[in-house]
Amino acid sequence: MNAATKNKTGVLPLTARKAVAPAVGVTRSVMLVTPALAAEWLKSNTRNRQIRHSVVAALAEIIRKGGWHTTHQGIAFGEDGALYDGQHRLHAIVEAGVAVSIEVTRGLPLSAVDAIDTGGSVRAARDVVAITDGVKLSYTQNATYSVVAFLMDASEIGTRRMTVDRLRAAIRDHGAAAEAVWGAGGVKFHTFRALPASVTGSLVVAWHSEPARVREFVKMLRTGENLGAFHPALMLRNYMIDRPSGAGCGMQNALMLRTFAAFDAFVRGDSLKVLKASEGARDKYVAAAKRDTAKAS
């Protein structure tokens, strides 16, 4: 939108909508919200939940990359002047340092707070790529791509939000490798419906440099056949069986690092008496995957 479409206050007209008339005293408009204006509005953020910094960081990244879209979801103020909804969006505008157009609602009654962000389901990146790209991922496939994205971003699981752009990039750059890993072996691991995402995601990354060895390793993990006492695949298999159930992000990261350690030992032909986490092995295969995807782009 250009300057001719805005009035002096920065308000943009809603010309394409015929909505049910809002409650008396409630107004809606689309505004260009600058970082300075967002910071000013956050001063009235007195009726809200605790801020989630990972959400702010993810939104700020979208804004900086030009991926922001104006939708019906925006900023909402109550009739008492307090900010009722949109604190994460406002913080993201401030963090990104970029102005965006956003719908602003004013004059909501206090009772409206009871219905904000309740009773519904958040649309995840997986949902968006299914709707817009026609790519339907199972929860296991989505989790694998999430691990790959974390690895390629040099971040730990749980430290960054999975955005649509990050998921699309993972599918684009690692889709063939992921399909190969999921299909390798042909026999599902008897203790799990499938190998954990921390394992498959790590091996998707390793596939870029050692595709044939990854295929062998996955088959060994899934069947456990003919493995010596200290074989790296058996050591990793036993670690997966013995690890605590319901493990959180810390245990997922630990499993990821041990997957790289076991696979690297397998490639070298080494036995392992103790399976230890290895950041060095992880960094080695991540670097190779980055080189491979850079050549393909």
Q: Position 138: which residue type?
A: S
What separation in angstroms does the CA of 78 have from each of 14, 122, 186? 21, 23, 57
Residue 28 φ then ψ, to 5°: -135, 140
Residue 101 backbone phi and psi in degrees, to 5 = -85, 135
d(CA 102, CA 71): 7
Residue 250 CA: distances (Å) to CA of 98, 130, 168, 204, 244: 34, 29, 25, 20, 12
Question: What pTM was estimated for this model as a whole?
Answer: 0.65
Q: Are 173 and 296 in contact (CB under 8 A)?
A: yes
Cα gap 169→111, rounded to integer Å: 41
What is the pLDDT at residue 55?
82
How far CA 222 is from CA of 183, 209, 225, 236, 251, in Å, comes to: 11, 21, 9, 11, 20
Per-residue pLDDT of the chain (297 residues; tens, 9 = 90+): 443 444 444 444 444 334 444 556 889 999 999 999 999 999 988 866 678 787 888 899 889 989 898 988 889 998 888 888 888 999 999 999 999 999 999 998 877 766 666 555 566 788 878 867 888 888 889 999 999 999 998 765 665 678 888 899 999 999 999 999 988 865 444 434 468 899 999 999 999 999 999 999 999 998 888 899 999 999 999 998 887 655 567 788 899 999 999 999 999 999 999 999 999 999 999 999 999 999 887
Question: Cα–Cα distance between 26 and 29 in angstroms, integer?
Answer: 10
- Check residue 157 and give its pLDDT: 61
The backbone torsions φ and ψ at residue 33, rounded to the nearest 5 degrees and listed phi first, read -100, 115
Is the Cβ–Cβ distance between 87 and 119 less than 8 Å? no
